[in-house]
Amino acid sequence: MDRVLAFVMAAVMLLTAGCESFSRKFTRKKSAEREVEMVLAPEEYFASGQDPQELYRQNLLYWRSWYDEFLSALSPGGNRKRQLYCLDESLKHLRACIGIAGAAEQPAAREYVNRILKLRGGVESDIYGNRVENFRNPAEVLKKEISVYLNSMVPAAEGQKHVD
Identity (one letter) of the amino acid at 137?
A: N
pTM of the model: 0.65
* Domain boundaries defined on the chain: 52-152
In the chain, the N- to C-terminal Cα span, in Å, equals: 116
38-59 per-residue burial string, b: 16 or more CB within 10 A, e: under 16: eeeeeeeeeeeeeeebebbbeb
Residue 83 CA to residue 60 CA, distance in Å, equals 19
Residue 12 CA to residue 18 CA, distance in Å, equals 10
- The tens-digit pLDDT sequence of the chain (164 residues) is 889 999 998 888 777 665 556 566 667 777 777 777 777 887 776 666 678 888 999 999 999 999 999 999 998 888 999 999 999 999 999 999 999 888 877 889 999 999 999 999 999 998 888 888 899 999 999 999 999 999 888 775 554 444 43
Return the closest-CA partner of residue 146 out of 60, 56, 71, 52: 60
